[in-house]
Structure 1
Amino acid sequence: MPKAYAYVRWSTAEQGEEGRDSHDRQTTPLQAFTEATGVPVVETVIDKGISAFRGANARFGQLKGLLDRIENGEIERGDYIIVESIDRLTRQKLTDSVDLIQSILKKGVRLHTVFDNKTYSYDDPTRDLETLILVGVIAKRAHEESDTKSKRLKSAWVKKRDAAESSVIGKRCPYGFEYDEKAKTFVIVEEEAAEIRHIFRLLKHVGVLECIKTINQYSKRRWTRTSVLHLINNRSPIGALRLQRRKENGGRELDRYVPGYFPKIVEESDFDAVIAAMKTRSTGQGKGRRTKHHFNIFRNAIQCHEHKCGMIFNLQKISGKYYAYLVCANRAERVCECNNRIRFDLVFGTFLAFIEQLNQNRYVDERTDKKREDFTWFSQDQYKQMDTVNDAFSRFFSVRDTSAPKEEIRARKALLSTEKNTLEMLEASLAQFDGLIPKTFIKRVADTEARITDLESEIQKLEGALAIESESIKITTTKDIIELYETEDGRLKLNTFIVSRGITFAVGWNKETNRVHLTAKLKDDEKTSLSIAYGFHYTEPLSPFGIADLSHVIK
């Protein structure tokens, strides 16, 4: 016995709401069909809020599942597909609509429309022409109606989109803002904006997943990877409105951004810095296990002096107190039997001593050889080495010279301007063609567009990297470093500074003398290095710097 399958569809979510008639209008006649034919309706398939204008329902809606079941024979020859009218199935162009309906009928499945009580099938070959004409006329009319509606909506949207350049086009707004009815403008919701600012501070140093773990400990909303990436893609934190346009296949794509539509929550420099940092992490740079609360400020910047391999940060609890260690990665993996397992406090103290001596060297009046003769820590050759290393640490003491990267950005912007002018001239020439456009001309336009895209990407990356490197850390004494280390944000800043400046450390420990040897190098200048050896009182290694150890932080 044949069976019937009803297909119900409405285009917008609102049409399916309670009180609207889309559902009832399409399902009420089903009982009458069964009474008239004796064929039971065994299933009703519903596509909610899916358009048939460009065939979305047939590509990924519930209709696709129905068509697949017809194709594989689950819905058999002689069964019925019941719809209110042809336009419930398709509103595509005539040829596409006819192809879809033919794909149903050719399998021997009948199509019944309750609106005009007609049944279409291949049972009677003499009615093929009539079926084709009727289906074609109805499908053509449905497509033209949808096309007219689409053009009207598009025209209205274009006007609304253009209005966004000078006025508010809707009261809905992203997280961090609300619409002030009295002032007729958007204002910042400080509680929400504080979360967004914290997200951008974290993303300069850590990945998205690490970021949301921290934020969700206190946030008003539940942040996810998708919501954080959406925050970046829509650019609302820097005040931009993201406008989209509908593609031919029914999807959406970026139209343009309207700057200044919302008030700014973060600055463009911070926004670009985050994008640059995320791209750096996505290329595989900056790998390595992060420690709890980011205690290891030397992550990706320290290695075993003997084996030239990384150092692993370990925590050990003894008598209720946590002790941190840096361990040679080869030793940890049983590749070697070296004794390079150094208490983190000792390495941190040596780092403080290193910075202290660099700082004192810096403030020798005018850094003259005459003044330096009064100091006995280093030889004159070592002082020259120190100057180079000290430049790498200049962010601790002064504003870094950013003229070189700025000049590189200016050069690329000049190239970008030239390419854009070239594209404008090519497009003007394109408008003059009458007939077939030469392939060489099309290739030239495509190549120019590709170069523009590449240059824009390079400029964004350079500006973001410059923003990260230009981020200031106000330090005048070792006490400032200790205070930074006492906060998680401060530890992240210290680690980012060291890594972004290309500074690496090699560390070793003489157990007999209890002295730590620390050598600083620059990745782009391996010939330049500076070493320091420092001895400690093991129970209170940081007492020369005003604290006993780091147990008040690492716990």
Structure 2
Amino acid sequence: MTQPAWIYARFSSMEQSKGHSLERQLTEGRALIERMGWEHSPNRELADEGKSAYTGGNRSEGSLLFDFEQKAREGLFHNGAVLAVENLDRLTRQGYEQAVDLLRLLTTNGVTVATWHDNQIYEAGKRIDMMKVMSIILKAELAREESEKKSIRIRASWSKKIEDAQNGDKRAMTKTLLAWLKRDDETLLMSVIPERAAVVNEIYDWYISGRGLPWIVQRLNVRKEPSWAIGARNKGQGWNTAYLHKILTNRAVLGEFEPMSRPRAALHEVTKGIVIPDYFPKIVSAEKFNQVQQLRAQRSSWGGQATKTMNNLMSGLAKCATCGGNMYFESQQKAGRTTGHKSRLDGRPLTYLAKTDRSYYRCNSARRGHTCTNKTRIRYEMLEGAILDCMFDLAMKDTTFKPSDAEAKLNLSIGEIQRSITLKQDQIKQGSDNLLEFFSKSLAQRVAQLEAGLEADEAQLATLTKQLEIERGALRPEEDSSLLLAARNALNSEDKEDRYLARVQTHQSLTRLIDQMYCNSRGETNITLNNSDVQIHIAPDGRTSLLVHEGPDGEREWNPDHEAAE
């Protein structure tokens, strides 16, 4: 019976994908299988691209070799199989222990391992003789030492390049650059590819205008915008939402460079904790980038059919005053659709063409028969109209909204953290000086605790600083008011696309302007606004009234009609 054979090919860095390493390994593997008379299939060609055998990345979860090992452990190859590989160091470069253990794992579970570079076959179910074991040990240790030396050289080289970049060197570190940059081969300086930078800004502008990632992907692919994927295999796959996500969140568009590293056997890269500003040419303004980040956070709760059509402008805002849970948007009929019902007189089936939309807000907990007792339904169309009329009226009054105090609060928090960092640094220096004069175990522990606290403070400072940048780039209340007024006429446009974009823009503005919105069991809705002393009360019949309540020190005394508190 002919044994089925698998080919395993691998290379360590994505830089090598530009060469012919992968195709060469696969070609030579096919030739070996044909020469030996084993059974070949393209489905049994395993290629781990950009997986290091020195760090063990090619044997970590998510790699093809990991899956093959798991199948061997589960006994799927007991009837016989072959794994063809160029050299054993394609499987592992972590030393002779790993090499011998992996080889024994495979051969004892029905897998014959064949290496075509040195013409060795390690047959399944047979003991590996001593001479082969010694050869494996020698080759594995040489491969590990070679990788160790190479790793040390690469780390030293990268450390020097990063240090130079921190000191103002703007030369490209590698040939692989951000997709919108190119490198001068003589000076190694980077410059912008104008047409690609224009596409990046177009993606940002589309997202800010209300477009979702799937729409942007479709638009780019329909107009045949060339993909920026690296490698012949990926070139024809077009744009995808995962890549757009990277573009919309990568601070490199602002010119920032954050060196990353991948710890041994780790699946993902981690930051080195260094940020170098103005290293790359900047292609997106800070205001545009921060506005996108705010919108991404705002849209994180989007989902379901309602947000695809944006029928529910208060999605994520409306809460039940009894339990505090979300209000459920329930659509019962759509204008223009044929609706069926039975005659009240004789029960005959009747149909009619619906002239208006009919939707309701209900407490989701009460709807599901859970713990909430608020079973009141509020007509959505009435509520939307009342809220929009009120918000449009307020938007035309320049004094309704106050400047946001979020920036001031963040500045205050940053100041406190900076003072804490300075204090800890002084205490660490004093403690270290004292340890040089006399050693104390308790003092050493105290210094270690201070260092841990300092690290936590620095991490929090970085987080707050980024939040401050986003807040500074956020729209001001008066800008949101202007956007509301600009979108007003298009909310009921006959053009489906114009109507959707207007409703997305209105939803985004309402989300930023409205602080709280509660619907109670009497059918009333109470709304508090951000950075404003105005509260909106909407009666069950849609009549609105404005409340302005301030305490003696400027604090708000009015709270939503939260029945749970009563």
Distance 2:104 2:280 in 1: 51
- 2: CA distance, partners of 1:473 / 1:8: 58
Residue correspondence of structure 1 range 139-538 to structure 2 within 5 A: 139-162=140-163, 164=165, 165-169=168-172, 173-174=177-178, 185-186=191-192, 188-189=194-195, 191-198=198-205, 201=208, 211-213=212-214, 215-216=216-217, 218-219=219-220, 224-249=240-265, 251=267, 252-255=269-272, 256-268=274-286, 270-272=288-290, 274-275=292-293, 278-279=296-297, 317=335, 329=362, 335-336=375-376, 342=382, 344-345=384-385, 347-353=387-393, 390=400, 393-394=401-402, 403-418=408-423, 445-465=451-471, 467-468=473-474, 470=476, 472-473=478-479, 482-486=485-489, 488=502, 491-492=506-507, 494-499=509-514, 501-502=529-530, 505-508=536-539, 516-520=543-547, 527-528=557-558
Contact 1:2 1:80 in 2 (8 A): no
Please show how residues 41-52 of structure 1 align to structure 2 within 5 Å.
45-49=45-49, 50-52=51-53
The structural deviation recorded for 1:262 is: 3.4
Kept in 2: contact 1:30–1:41 (CA 8 A): yes
**CA distance change for structure 1 residues 117 and 471 in 2, over 3 Å: closer, same or farther?**
same
1:195 Cα deviation (Å)?
A: 1.9
* Matching of residue 9 in structure 1 with residue 27 in structure 2: no
Shift of 1:345: 4.7
What residue in structure 1 maps to residue 526 of structure 2? Answer: none
Output the CA distance in 2 between the equivalents of 1:110 and 1:480. Answer: 68
Q: Any conservation in 1 of the 2:363–2:375 contact (CA below 8 Å)?
A: yes
Assess, with a 3 A threshold, how the Cα gap between structure 1 residues 401 and 167 changes in structure 2: closer, same or farther.
Answer: closer
Q: Shift in Å at residue 303 of structure 1?
A: 8.2
Q: 2 CA distance for matches of 1:466 and 1:28?
A: 62
Structure 1's 457 and 41: CA in aligned 2 closer, same or farther, altered over 3 A? same
Task: Write out per-residue CA displacement over residues 139-168 of structure 1, whole angstroms, 9 at most, x where no aligned residue.
Answer: 112222333333344444444445555223
1-side partners of 2:438 and 2:36: how far apart?
A: 59
Deviation at 1:122, TM superposition (A): 9.1
Per mean C-alpha deviation after superposition, the further-off stretch among 286-295 and 149-158 is 286-295
The 1:129–1:466 alpha-carbon spacing in structure 2 relative to 1, beyond 3 Å, is same
Q: Distance in 2 between matches of 1:424 and 1:187?
A: 48
Tell me how far 1:507 sits from its aligned partner: 0.9
3-state SS, counterpart of residue 264 of structure 1: coil
C-alpha displacement of 1:253: 2.7
Write the letter of the residue equivalent to 1:53: Y
User: Aligned AA for 2:92?
Assistant: T
TM value normalised by structure 1 = 0.64
Instruction: Give the letter aligned to residue 168 of structure 1.
Output: R
- CA pair 519-298 structure 1, distance change in 2 beyond 3 A: farther
Deviations 1:398-434 (A, max 9, x none): x879645533343334334555676788899999999
- The gaps in structure 2 that reach 5 residues or longer are 226-237, 338-352, 368-373, 491-501, 516-528, 561-566
What is the 5 A alignment of 1:50-199?
50-59=51-60, 60-76=62-78, 81-107=83-109, 111-120=113-122, 128-162=129-163, 164=165, 165-169=168-172, 173-174=177-178, 185-186=191-192, 188-189=194-195, 191-198=198-205
Greater mean alpha carbon deviation, residues 333-342 or residues 267-276: 333-342
Q: SS in structure 1 opposite 2:557? A: strand
Q: 1:521 to 1:495 in 2, by over 3 A?
A: farther
Q: List gaps (5 residues or longer) in structure 1.
A: 35-39, 363-389, 531-555
Q: CA deviation at 1:326?
A: 8.3
Shift of 1:185: 2.1
Whole-angstrom distance in 2 between the partners of 1:337 and 1:114: 74
Change (3 A) 1:417 1:174: farther
Identity of aligned residues (%): 16
Q: Distance in 1 between matches of 2:88 and 2:308?
A: 62
CA offsets 1:304-331 (integer angstroms, 9 cap, x no match): 9999996969796489998678855479
Q: CA deviation at 1:136?
A: 0.7
Is the 2:6–2:84 Cα contact (8 Å) retained in structure 1? yes
Structure-1 separation of matches of 2:408 and 2:540: 40
Q: Say whether the 8 Å CA contact 1:325–1:341 is kept in structure 2.
A: yes
Q: 1:200 to 1:28 in 2, by over 3 A?
A: closer
In the TM superposition, residue 265 of structure 1 has moved relative to its aligned partner by 3.9
Query: Aligned-pair distance for 1:133?
Result: 1.9
Verify the 8 A CA contact 2:112 2:123 in the aligned structure 1. Answer: yes
Q: CA deviation at 1:186?
A: 2.0
- How far apart are residue 86 of structure 1 and its match? 2.8
Letter in 1 for 2:546: T
SS of the aligned residue for 2:474 comes to helix
- The two structures have a TM-score, normalised by structure 2, of 0.63
Task: Quickly say closer, same or farther: Cα 1:321–1:145, change in 2 above 3 A.
Answer: same
Q: CA deviation at 1:101?
A: 1.9
- Partner of residue 345, structure 2: none
Task: Tell me, in whole angstroms, the C-alpha distance in 2 between the residues paired with 1:274 and 1:422.
Answer: 41
